[in-house]
């Protein structure tokens, strides 16, 4: 545990109090059987830890932009909160850029990184002055055209894939030999192509790599950053001046889903990087980081009411309102994405009692819709609540519209002296009218009135 209390005890206490208050204040109940909760105190703490970790290892005066990977938690109030904490935005689609702008993020605190940018997206980004990392030679061609036709303040760079290898989860390993991202640096002729690209374009001033996300060991992440730094040094040496002035090291710090402790910490990662790549921190390079999961995951909780408690083949099964619609990764790939579950009683108090091996099931109509299978927990009864922990990134903000299940409401909370816990709405629960509208409700007759000419 360090100065920020990373054992997570404070976090667990705040969470328990928020669950109870959500029941007492009517956010959770028979008619609103699922919510997402965000621990505002915890989010602020993580943002402060991130800033402090890199401030500790960088030379005084080094420009550092921490750009939150919006895909991790694409919610405008979260982006605004992070903005207040000095964190920018990494966006990867027109939608994410729109969210960042709605949150008030300025272009100079925004980075665009997606692998499939259209000409219109690139034009808009350059017109706004947003930093852009070109993913591949064809995209760089498009940027060439835009740079020729208009002046832009956008810092521009190239994304490379150092091909240092993958981690334990294939879907989040971005630095494998055949990854779809960036310029594959170890492929024949690729390194020379990258060096040439900078030699030919004095306006290319950044270099970017994102070596992976959950499942990548710190040593492999550090190796990816080290190879990116070595390439920047080589390019600047060949050009004879420090043309690359900023290195974007991506995000990807893994999250501990096994307990409340924050592990590894930003401080540990920053120190590991300084050890592996000291030259990166001596003040010659500005830094951009793009952390997502590690900023938000541990500050979100899905709480769902147990609608029915049943038994099948000797197995206790709690049928809850949280399943694949809010935890798609866990439900479809449970081996890679297990979630901790805690049990609360009908009043939102932590449940005690002997542990019973049970399934915590979701509401969707397929057999695999389980938040947890064969989990030992105090026996969940009808009217109790099950909470899925560490779901603040890539979970309830990533609704999956299976069975037309409504997006749950999301509420931020802080401890409050008068009421115990004070809540603010981050996202309203989805209405049935909105589900119908999003499902073609305005076009109900579209297909019955579409006839092959001459058939009638």
Ligand X SMILES: *Cc1c(COP(=O)(O)O)cnc(C)c1O
Residue 253 or 317: the one with the smaller Cβ distance to ligand X is 253
User: Closest distance between ligand X and the C-beta of residue 51, in Å?
Assistant: 16
Can residue 215 be called a binding residue for ligand X (CB under 6 A)? no
Q: What would the two tokens of residue 63 be?
A: 């420009």
Interacting residue with ligand X among 88, 252, 348, 363 (CB under 6 A): 252
Q: Number of C-alpha atoms within 13 angstroms, CB side, residue 240?
A: 0
Residue 107 or 254: the one with the smaller Cβ distance to ligand X is 254
How many Å apart are CA 135 and CA 344, to the nearest integer?
Answer: 47
Q: What would the two tokens of residue 270 be?
A: 């920053």
Q: Which of 141, 278, 273 has the alpha carbon at shortest distance from 211?
A: 273
User: Closest distance between ligand X and the C-beta of residue 65, in Å?
Assistant: 13
Residue 28 or 249: the one with the smaller Cβ distance to ligand X is 249
DSSP track, 371-382: EEEEEEEEPP-T
User: Closest distance between ligand X and the C-beta of residue 134, in Å?
Assistant: 13
Residue 209 or 317: the one with the smaller Cβ distance to ligand X is 209
User: Closest distance between ligand X and the C-beta of residue 251, in Å?
Assistant: 3
Are 104 and 80 within 8 A, CB to CB?
A: yes
3-state class (DSSP) for residue 221: helix
Element (H, E) at 66: strand 64-69
User: Closest distance between ligand X and the C-beta of residue 293, in Å?
Assistant: 4
User: Closest distance between ligand X and the C-beta of residue 352, in Å?
Assistant: 35
User: Closest distance between ligand X and the C-beta of residue 159, in Å?
Assistant: 7
For ligand X, the binding residues in 256-315 under the rule CB under 6 A are: 290-294
Interacting residue with ligand X among 73, 213, 301, 358 (CB under 6 A): 213
Residue 179 or 434: the one with the smaller Cβ distance to ligand X is 179
Q: How many residues does the chain have?
A: 456
**Residue span 222-251 as binding mask against ligand X, x where in contact by CB under 6 A, dash where not:** ----------------------------xx
Helical spans, DSSP H, in 261-322: 266-276, 293-296
Residue 298 or 321: the one with the smaller Cβ distance to ligand X is 298
Can residue 69 be called a binding residue for ligand X (CB under 6 A)? yes
How many Å apart are CA 377 and CA 339, to the nearest integer?
Answer: 13
Can residue 99 be called a binding residue for ligand X (CB under 6 A)? no
Interacting residue with ligand X among 39, 113, 139, 359 (CB under 6 A): 113
How many Å apart are CA 247 and CA 422, to the nearest integer?
Answer: 40
How many Å apart are CA 131 and CA 31, to the nearest integer?
Answer: 45
Residue 291 or 396: the one with the smaller Cβ distance to ligand X is 291
The label of the residue with tokens 């040094």 reads 233
DSSP track, 388-410: EES-TTTTTTS---GGGPPPPEE
> Is the C-alpha dihedral spanning 122, 135, 91, 283 positive or negative?
negative
User: Closest distance between ligand X and the C-beta of residue 376, in Å?
Assistant: 30
User: Closest distance between ligand X and the C-beta of residue 350, in Å?
Assistant: 29
Q: Helix %, strand %, coil % for the chain, to 5?
A: 35, 25, 40
Residue 25 or 93: the one with the smaller Cβ distance to ligand X is 93
Q: What would the two tokens of residue 261 be?
A: 């402790």
How many Å apart are CA 95 and CA 351, to the nearest integer?
Answer: 41
User: Closest distance between ligand X and the C-beta of residue 384, in Å?
Assistant: 32
Are 221 and 212 within 8 A, CB to CB?
A: yes
Interacting residue with ligand X among 49, 85, 90, 227 (CB under 6 A): 90
Residue 85 or 345: the one with the smaller Cβ distance to ligand X is 85
Q: Which of 264, 192, 187 has the alpha carbon at shortest distance from 222?
A: 264
Instruction: Give the largest Cα separation in the chain, rounded.
Output: 77
Burial 21-42 (b: 16+ CB within 10 A, else e): bbbebebbbeeebbbbbbbbeb
Residue nearest to ligand X (CB): 292
User: Closest distance between ligand X and the C-beta of residue 443, in Å?
Assistant: 34
Residue 292 or 409: the one with the smaller Cβ distance to ligand X is 292
| Count of chain residues binding ligand X (CB under 6 A) | 16
Residue 19 or 87: the one with the smaller Cβ distance to ligand X is 87
Binding site for ligand X (CB under 6 A): 69, 71-72, 90, 113, 210, 213, 250-253, 290-294
């Amino acid at each position: 545990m360090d100065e920020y209390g990373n054992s997570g005890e404070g976090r667990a206490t705040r969470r328990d109090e928020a669950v109870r208050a959500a029941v007492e204040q009517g956010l959770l109940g028979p008619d609103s059987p699922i919510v997402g909760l965000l621990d505002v105190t915890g989010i602020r703490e993580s943002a402060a830890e991130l800033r402090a970790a890199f401030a500790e290892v960088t030379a005084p005066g080094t420009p550092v932009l921490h750009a939150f990977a919006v895909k991790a938690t694409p919610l405008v109030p979260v982006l605004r909160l992070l903005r207040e904490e000095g964190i920018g935005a990494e966006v990867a689609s027109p939608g994410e850029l729109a969210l960042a702008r709605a949150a008030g993020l300025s272009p100079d605190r925004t980075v665009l990184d997606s692998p499939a940018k259209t000409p219109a997206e690139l034009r808009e980004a350059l017109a706004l002055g947003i930093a852009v990392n070109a993913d591949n030679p064809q995209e760089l061609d498009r940027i060439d055209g835009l740079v020729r036709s208009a002046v832009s303040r956008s810092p521009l760079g190239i994304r490379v894939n150092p091909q240092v290898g993958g981690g334990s989860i294939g879907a989040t390993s971005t630095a494998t030999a055949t990854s779809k991202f960036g310029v594959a640096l170890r492929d024949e002729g690729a390194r020379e192509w990258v060096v040439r690209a900078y030699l030919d374009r004095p306006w290319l001033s950044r270099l970017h790599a994102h070596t992976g996300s959950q499942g990548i060991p710190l040593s492999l992440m550090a190796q990816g950053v080290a190879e990116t730094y070595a390439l920047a040094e080589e390019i600047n040496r060949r050009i004879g001046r420090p043309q690359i002035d900023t290195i974007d090291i991506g995000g990807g710090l893994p999250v501990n889903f096994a307990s409340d402790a924050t592990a590894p910490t930003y401080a540990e990662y920053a120190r590991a990087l300084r050890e592996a790549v000291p030259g990166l921190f001596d003040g010659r390079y500005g830094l951009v980081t793009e952390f997502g999961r590690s900023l938000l995951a541990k500050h979100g909780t899905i709480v769902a009411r147990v609608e029915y408690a049943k038994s099948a083949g000797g197995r206790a099964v709690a049928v809850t309102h949280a399943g694949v619609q809010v935890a798609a990764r866990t439900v479809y790939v449970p081996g890679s994405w297990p979630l901790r579950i805690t049990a609360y009683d009908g009043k939102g108090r932590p449940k005690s009692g002997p542990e019973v091996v049970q399934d915590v099931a979701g509401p969707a109509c397929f057999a695999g819709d389980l938040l947890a299978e064969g989990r030992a927990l105090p026996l969940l009864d009808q009217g109790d609540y099950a909470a899925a922990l560490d779901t603040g990134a890539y979970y309830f903000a990533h609704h999956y519209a299976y069975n037309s299940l409504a997006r749950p409401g999301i509420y931020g909370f802080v401890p409050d002296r008068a009421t115990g816990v004070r809540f603010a709405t981050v996202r309203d629960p989805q209405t049935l009218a909105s589900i119908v509208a999003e499902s073609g409700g305005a076009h109900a007759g579209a297909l019955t009135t579409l006839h092959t000419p001459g058939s009638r």
